[in-house]
Amino acid sequence: MTEGKTGKMRVAIGCDHAGLPLKEEILRFLADEGPQAGWEWEDFGVQTTEPVDYPDIGQAVAKAVASGEFDRGILICGTGIGMSIAANKVRGVRAALCHDTYSARMSREHNDANVLTMGSRVIGPGPARDIVRIFLTTAFAGGRHARRVGKLEQGGC
11 versus 22: smaller Cβ distance to ligand RB5: 22
Of 16, 25, 71, 112, the one binding ligand RB5 by CB under 6 A:
16
CA–CA gap between residue 32 and residue 15 (Å, rounded): 20
CA–CA gap between residue 53 and residue 5 (Å, rounded): 32
In sequence order, which residues have a C-beta less than 8 Å from that of residue 156 and are 6 or more positions away?
none
**44 lines the binding site for ligand RB5 (CB under 6 A):** no
**52 lines the binding site for ligand RB5 (CB under 6 A):** no
CA–CA gap between residue 12 and residue 40 (Å, rounded): 9
**54 lines the binding site for ligand RB5 (CB under 6 A):** yes
Active site residue 77: yes
**73 lines the binding site for ligand RB5 (CB under 6 A):** no
Question: Which of the following is catalytic: 15, 17, 77, 98?
Answer: 77
Contact yes or no for 96/111 (Cβ under 8 A) = yes
Helix (H) or strand (E) holding 144: helix 144-153
Point out the residues that are catalytic: 77, 110
**Residues near ligand RB5, by CB under 6 A:** 16, 18, 54, 77-79, 81-82
